[in-house]
Amino acid sequence: MRGLRANLPARAVRTALAAALVLLPGLAAGGVEVRPGASGRKVITNENEVQRARRLAPYLVAPSSEDLLALIERHALDRGLDPRLVRAVVQVESGYNPAAVSNKGAMGLMQLMPETAADLDVTSPFEPDENLRGGTEYLSGLLERFGGDATLALAAYNAGPGAVTRYGGVPPYPETVAYVRNVFALWQGGAAPAAPSGYGTALRPAFGPAPGAPLPPARPVVWRTGGARAHLTNVDR
């Protein structure tokens, strides 16, 4: 997003700011930041992780089949996982399509790679029950490996545990960053889920504030000039 020229008339600057506030409701009430988008372009946003989660919460859709929903619930609980987390992973991975195949060869509802499926003794990866059994076992193992840190476990599910270990955190891959963000947004939407016994640390994510946590106070949005450009910002830098 190109900055406005600093030598624009003051009236033009004020008009542009007013237009921005109309086009982006609530801009002055939230924190503004610039993020790299999936396409490489910069995206300006005033939405933090909690707000994003609440906005996307309605999009955690139920599978078209009650039998599939029951399978997800059963395998999630068998592995001590929150069923909403597993539903979010399935939705982001395959859109609940048991026949899904990625361009890298990942298969089925939870998009198991062939070598992962073999390690988990999943011989029919397109069969929902077997795929969910293997996928939840794999996700549970990643949570254990990374000390219950759901952020790292999800990053490892997408990019591989070796990449997470190598970078000492979420790898700086746009796809992985977006994947973790989207799964968390679907999983954490609305109120925090109740924690039945046996769920363990999978219900205590480490990616952003906990659901329902108080939002940080808003910071003022100002026009700051620097060099030949003016910028809309609420960040001190």
Catalytic site positions? 93
Q: How many whole angstroms separate alpha carbon 137 and alpha carbon 2? A: 47
Q: How many whole angstroms separate alpha carbon 188 and alpha carbon 57? A: 7
Task: Please say whether the beta carbons of 132 and 75 come within 8 A.
Answer: yes
For residue 59, give the nearest of 158, 152, 183, 147 by alpha carbon.
183
Q: How many whole angstroms separate alpha carbon 23 and alpha carbon 37? A: 19
Q: Is 224 helix (H, G, I), strand (E, B) or coil?
A: strand
69: which 2 tokens? 């929903």
For residue 174, give the nearest of 155, 161, 157 by alpha carbon.
155
Q: How many whole angstroms separate alpha carbon 131 and alpha carbon 111? A: 8
Helix ranges, the chain (H)? 10-23, 49-56, 66-78, 83-94, 114-119, 128-145, 150-159, 161-167, 174-187
Tell me how long the chain is.
Answer: 237
Q: How many whole angstroms separate alpha carbon 234 and alpha carbon 206? A: 25
Q: Is 148 helix (H, G, I), strand (E, B) or coil?
A: coil
Task: Please say whether the beta carbons of 27 and 7 come within 8 A.
Answer: no
